[in-house]
């Protein structure tokens, strides 16, 4: 779902506050990565437009969420605006550990990514949200393709998250089926919810889904770093990932060379901050109200001018 700003809008925003070339450290384009979910496209385009207002040239580059770190380490890619504590922390820590990638701090958004079910499923499986109760009801979540195993609809494979490993480590009677895209994931939720059909799937916040639909996140054993790194931790002495996913901030990261080549942009990216409510509202405008992503970005830029002007001082 690659989205780019329309040429007219991009040109207008780029030229509106373009300073003399001497005011920017380099006219080389700063490459911001785009992924495959609406919120990240919004965050990245917002950041790009703010940087354009400061006079920088911007390129948007489609990249895999986890594999992008290879490009960030070499400087072939420059900025990634959403690294989720829930799924990207290990890759981020490895990259920053090399010294070639910097963590530029929190975006202001707090991440939850976990198994989720509609509340109507508690009539069939009253022990929910406990994961063991879910597992005891696995057949109630089955489909013709997975029966008698339950079906868990995961996110696209590129998102990571260790759901396949989690099912194996906790010896769950579920088969993990990965949605091809973010849009497909939530289209299936919408369809199931309207029919009150059985479903348990990957839901995340900030997003409109936990607000629009009545449901709950499954409660797995609480995450600790040892759960992911030490097989001896937890209920399965031989396997890691026998717990739920971590929760926490959504981070901004950059190639370490950004600080030297574009120090002004580096400071602006560190200043960028937006909260869950803002993001959830914007994602809803794009996904539910069919507004163009470009228009949502332009509206945010207009209504928050005093805010981003502080970032680019």
Per-residue pLDDT at 224 exceeds 70? yes
Considering the domain architecture, whether residues 126 and 224 belong to the same structural domain is answered as: yes
| 250 bridge partner residues | 84
Eight-state DSSP code of residue 221:
S
Considering the domain architecture, whether residues 218 and 255 belong to the same structural domain is answered as: no
Residue at a domain's end among 201, 229, 257: 229
Considering the domain architecture, whether residues 285 and 200 belong to the same structural domain is answered as: no
In a domain, 263, yes or no: yes
Domain that holds residue 132: 111-229
Considering the domain architecture, whether residues 87 and 22 belong to the same structural domain is answered as: yes
Considering the domain architecture, whether residues 27 and 61 belong to the same structural domain is answered as: yes
Residues 241-295 have pLDDT tens digits of 999 999 999 999 999 999 999 999 999 999 999 999 999 999 999 999 999 999 9
CB of 153 closer than 8 Å to CB of 201: yes
CATH number at residue 307: 3.40.190.10
State the pLDDT at residue 22.
39
State the pLDDT at residue 87.
87
Instruction: Please give the average per-residue pLDDT across 21-31, as a whole number.
Output: 84
Report the alpha-carbon distance of residue 111 to residue 104 in Å, rounded. 17
Residues 92-106 have pLDDT tens digits of 999 999 999 999 999
Residues 207-222 have pLDDT tens digits of 999 989 999 999 999 9
In a domain, 234, yes or no: no
Considering the domain architecture, whether residues 25 and 73 belong to the same structural domain is answered as: yes
In a domain, 292, yes or no: yes
Residues 37-75 have pLDDT tens digits of 999 999 999 999 999 999 999 999 999 999 999 999 999
In a domain, 45, yes or no: yes
Residues 119-172 have pLDDT tens digits of 999 999 999 999 999 999 999 999 999 999 999 999 999 898 999 999 999 999
State the pLDDT at residue 15.
38
Q: What is the total count of domains within the chain?
A: 2
Report the alpha-carbon distance of residue 245 to residue 113 in Å, rounded. 7
Report helix, strand or coil for 49: helix
Report the alpha-carbon distance of residue 78 to residue 134 in Å, rounded. 42
């Amino acid at each position: 779902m690659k989205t780019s700003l329309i040429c007219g809008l991009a040109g207008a925003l780029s030229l509106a506050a373009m300073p003399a070339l001497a005011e920017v450290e380099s006219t080389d384009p700063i490459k911001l990565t785009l992924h495959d979910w609406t919120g990240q496209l919004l965050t990245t385009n917002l950041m790009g437009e703010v940087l354009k207002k400061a006079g920088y040239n911007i390129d948007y580059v489609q990249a895999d969420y986890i594999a992008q770190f290879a490009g960030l380490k070499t400087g072939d890619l420059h900025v990634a605006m959403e690294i989720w504590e829930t799924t990207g922390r290990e890759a981020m820590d490895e990259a920053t550990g090399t010294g070639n990638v910097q963590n530029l701090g929190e975006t202001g958004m707090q991440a939850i990514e976990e198994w989720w079910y509609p509340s109507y499923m508690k009539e069939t499986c009253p022990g929910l949200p406990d994961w063991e109760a879910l597992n005891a009801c696995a057949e109630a979540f089955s489909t013709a393709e997975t029966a008698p195993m339950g079906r868990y609809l995961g996110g696209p494979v590129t998102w990571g998250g260790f759901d396949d490993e989690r099912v194996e480590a906790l010896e769950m009677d579920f088969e993990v089926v990965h949605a091809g895209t973010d849009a497909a994931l939530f289209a299936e939720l919408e369809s199931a919810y309207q029919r009150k059909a059985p479903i348990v799937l990957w839901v995340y916040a900030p997003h409109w889904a936990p607000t629009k639909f009545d449901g709950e996140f499954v409660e797995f054993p609480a995450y600790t770093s040892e759960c992911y790194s030490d097989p001896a931790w937890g209920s399965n002495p031989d396997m890691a990932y026998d717990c739920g996913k971590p929760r926490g901030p959504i981070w901004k990261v950059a190639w370490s060379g950004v600080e030297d080549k574009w120090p002004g942009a580096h400071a602006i990216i560190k200043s960028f901050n937006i909260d869950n409510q803002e993001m959830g509202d914007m994602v809803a405008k794009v996904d539910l109200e069919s507004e163009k992503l470009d228009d949502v970005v332009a509206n945010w830029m207009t209504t928050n001018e005093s805010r981003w002007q502080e970032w680019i001082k």
